[in-house]
Amino acid sequence: MDPIIELSKVTKTYRSKGKAVLALKDVNLPVERGSFTTLIGPSGCGKSTLLKIIAGIALPYEGCMRYKDREITSINTDIGFVTQDSNLFPWLTLIQNVELALKIRGVARDQRKRTAQNYIDTMRLSGFESHYPFELSGGMQKRGSIIRTLIYDPEIILMDEPFGPLDAQTRMVLQDELLRIWDSNKKTILFVTHDLTEAIALSDKVVLFTSRPGTVKRVFDVPLARPRNVFEIHNEKGFNEIYHEIWQYFKNEITI
């Protein structure tokens, strides 16, 4: 294994209304460079908190988180973060939103326009460059959010339930497009979802967390061949077996 991230006994406590809330406890997890790893677990088990720790925006914490063999103690600018919301700036057009990171970095206008257009074409948004976010569908906004993160070429992409608010059909289309892009550049992706089928369809590894305080209960290797057909993932050889294996452990963590 060539880990780009190594989490060792990571523990996070929040203060809420004068009380201590233990969100994560003794999380140990290596994340392999170039892998697609998905975190699943019950609501409130600290999955999103863990992404924020990796990004350097949920400090301080106990334990150690190393990125490329150095400890992270502040915001990690090598990391891209895609959240549930599109977070596109409403006063900018799609292409202006996409090229914003390059503009901030001082990239020449013509170059950033060409690069932004290439990403827009890749995500099949051609023809909507001059549209504002309110003129785009939810799925199109999400595409824009993803390529706005990809354009500055982060080493790691953190995705916190990015497809959660979308309808089932749009989710599958975006899952397929995400896998297509990931397959072309092999960026390290750490993805949070509550959907076990989505986790299996996308991932090399599925990391199951316990209920709060969250810790790693078990790590599963996903044996499905790539490339994957997310539209018919249930028919993939080995899908049913890995689904039921994970579910046997997952269901015991769900409280009603």
The model carries a pTM of: 0.90
Max alpha carbon distance in the chain (Å)?
55
Residue 5 covered by a domain:
no
Say what the pLDDT of residue 221 is: 97
Query: 243 CB contacts (<8 Å, ≥6 apart)?
Result: 196, 197, 200
Domain range spanning residue 74?
A: 10-78+155-256
Q: Predicted confidence band at 87 (pLDDT cuts at 50, 70, 90)?
A: confident
Helices (H), 14-160: 47-55, 94-104, 109-122, 138-150
Same domain flag for 187 and 62: yes
- Residue 71 has which token pair? 């400890």
Q: What's the average model confidence in pLDDT over 152-168?
A: 88
Q: What's the average model confidence in pLDDT over 200-229?
A: 95
Residue 5 has pLDDT above 80, yes or no: yes
Say what the pLDDT of residue 255 is: 61
Q: Predicted confidence band at 48 (pLDDT cuts at 50, 70, 90)?
A: very high
**What CATH number does the domain containing 46 carry?**
3.40.50.300
Residue 1 has pLDDT above 80, yes or no: no
Same domain flag for 178 and 251: yes
Same domain flag for 173 and 113: no
Say what the pLDDT of residue 123 is: 84
- Residue 41 has which token pair? 């677990």
Q: Final residue of a domain: which of 105, 130, 154?
A: 154
Q: How far is CA 106 from the centre of its chain?
A: 27
Q: What is the pLDDT of residues 215-251, one digit of tens each?
A: 999 999 999 999 999 999 999 999 999 999 999 999 9
Same domain flag for 50 and 171: yes
Residue 3 covered by a domain:
no
- Residue 32 has which token pair? 């392999």
